[in-house]
Chain A
Amino acid sequence: MNYPKITKIIETRKEAKDTKTILFKDSVEIIPGQFFMIWIPGVDEIPMSVSYIDKDIKGITFRKIGDATKALYNLKKDDKIGIRGPYGNGFKINGKNILFVGGGTGIAMIAPAVEKASYEKITSTVVLGVKNKDELFFEKKLQKTGAKIFVATDDGSKGDKGFATDLAEKMLNEHKFDSVLTCGPEIMMKKLHSLCNNIPFQASLERYMKCGFGICGQCCIGKGLRVCKDGPVFDGETLKNIEEFGKYKRDASGKKIPL
């Protein structure tokens, strides 16, 4: 039911500058790309991708950017949070050779998808894009899957200097992929979409969310697609018909704001 389950944090991990993982007990089945609504009592309830999928333990990984994520960042072991979900459709992971592109906190939701692909013996190439080396996380976790990992930083402090899309473009020119999966800043995903021409493409979108289960209308895009329920992952064909993709989102009031 769409009601938060109150649970205790069993562990917190610092992953990078201002970035933490919170782990809690939960035995629910997750498709990589799905998300939870996380209730921080007295503060807010916000959507967070599932970044850590184990049989009985789940986790989220986030960067502190505002009130809710700051409050979440300051929580400790045994503090209580509420969890609703999982919500959304998640990635379809198929093909023999997949290119994953994660930008910023988008890396959090890309990670379990790479893990699943590796479990299914799919050859995976992963491009991680961050501003600088202090913001990079999950590199080791992803290396363990056997995937080939490439890093791009805006300032060149690690890996290639430049955008994740520059690096991804190079990969797309040099290798043949059956599928491209991405999560990150929408401008990045939009660029990647345009590079993918005929390669099956899936991108995970973010929109302001309230209910998370498709009833309030807050997160709608295109012709009535609810990011929380019909998404957050959309394929390349669908994205072609979503006029606002890469252009604008809406604030809590429903007003359009340019990306």
Chain B
Amino acid sequence: MDEDAGSMERITRCGAGGVVTKSIGLEPREGYPNPTVVELECGILNAMGLPNPGINNFEDEIKNLKKSNVPVIGSIFGSDKDGFVELGKKMQSYGADALELNMSCPHAKGYGLEIGSDPDLVREITKNVKKSTKIPVFVKISPNLANIVEIAKAAESAHANAIVAINTVKAMKIDLELRIPILSNKIGGYSGKAVKPIGVCCVCEIAKNVNIPIIGVGGITTGEDAIEYFMAGASAVQIGSGIHYRGVEIFEKICIEIESWMKDHNYNKISELIGVAHI
């Protein structure tokens, strides 16, 4: 629920501190044909294919959203530094409060993970977006990396303001009856409950090796899940698939659960929890 102003506003009314937009590219993109999303036993598998109306059509959505003063992180994806720079500048001019560079989508040819697995490209793109914009820049990275720390360090060295981890985990589901992959794109990304331990591990490894804040994401459905991410080293968290498990009200529920856990365990500030699991 991140493609139009109305939905993003609803999410903040439900207790989220801010919203990350759908990843937006230079041109409108329909994404892959259906089936694009299915639910599996322990998570959600999707290959949307980065559908989005294109940056120019997104101006209205951001402007409408900013009328209600919602903090907005504009997610963007390009195939090279010039694309990212143009998208970043436009997002900033529409009123986005920060940028998230999607270098981690596992199922879009020429974008996402194909860029985000090359430390030199990550550094170059991040550096150029930073140079041409004033708002904070976050780099979203994939769990499907042999060198996740190296990628995070590349983003840090290019002065990224934070790392977002993780995007979906590359995955496939084959239908037994039809003997074909269910997704039209065959390969998709896995999210939801099943990926939480993967996300927590990635955040922990990154936190030990970089000094910029980390935004944890992947499989969070309860306040305790969020606390686990804080302990791994995240300073903030994002929630996607959790909306399916607990409804749009999940944001408020999680805030209450975090507070009550902290009260029970005598913590006053989330900052006291960040990274406590690193020994």
Contacts and interface: CB of A to CB of B under 8 A. Distances in A.
Q: Are A and B associated in one complex?
A: yes
A220 B35 contact: no
A227 B52 CA distance: 18
A41 interface: yes
Contacts of A250: 4, 53
Interface in B1-56: 1-4, 6-11, 22, 28-31, 33-41, 44, 46, 48, 51-54
B37 A216 contact: yes
A237 B52 CA distance: 30
Q: Which of A41, A253, A255 has the most CB of B within 10 A?
A: A253
A220 B30 contact: no
Interface stretch (A1-9, A90-98, A137-145, A166-174): A1-9
B35 A255 contact: no
Contacts of A251: 30
B276 to A, nearest CB: 32
Nearest to B178: A41
B31 A253 contact: yes
Contacts of B35: 4, 37, 39, 45, 82
Nearest to B191: A215
Contacts of A216: 36-37, 46, 48
Interface stretch (B116-124, B219-227, B229-237, B240-248): B240-248
Contacts of B4: 217, 220, 250, 254
Size class of B's contact patch?
Answer: 35 or more
Interface in A214-259: 214-218, 220-226, 250-256
A11 B29 CA distance: 37
B1 A224 contact: yes
Interface residues of A, number: 38
Interface in A158-210: 210
Interface of B: 1-4, 6-11, 22, 28-31, 33-41, 44, 46, 48, 51-54, 57, 175, 177-178, 180, 182, 184, 240-241, 243-244, 248
25 contacts: A2-B37, A4-B35, A4-B38, A6-B175, A37-B34, A37-B35, A44-B34, A82-B175, A82-B178, A84-B38, A210-B31, A210-B36, A210-B51, A216-B36, A220-B1, A221-B6, A223-B6, A224-B11, A225-B10, A250-B53, A251-B30, A252-B31, A254-B3, A254-B52, A256-B53
| Cβ-closest 7 pairs across A and B | A224-B10, A45-B34, A2-B39, A6-B177, A211-B37, A252-B30, A224-B7
Given A45-B36, A214-B1, A218-B51, 13 more contacts: A3-B40, A43-B33, A80-B177, A210-B34, A211-B46, A214-B244, A217-B3, A220-B3, A250-B53, A252-B51, A254-B3, A254-B51, A256-B57
Interface of A: 1-4, 6, 37, 39, 41-46, 80, 82, 84, 210-211, 213-218, 220-226, 250-256
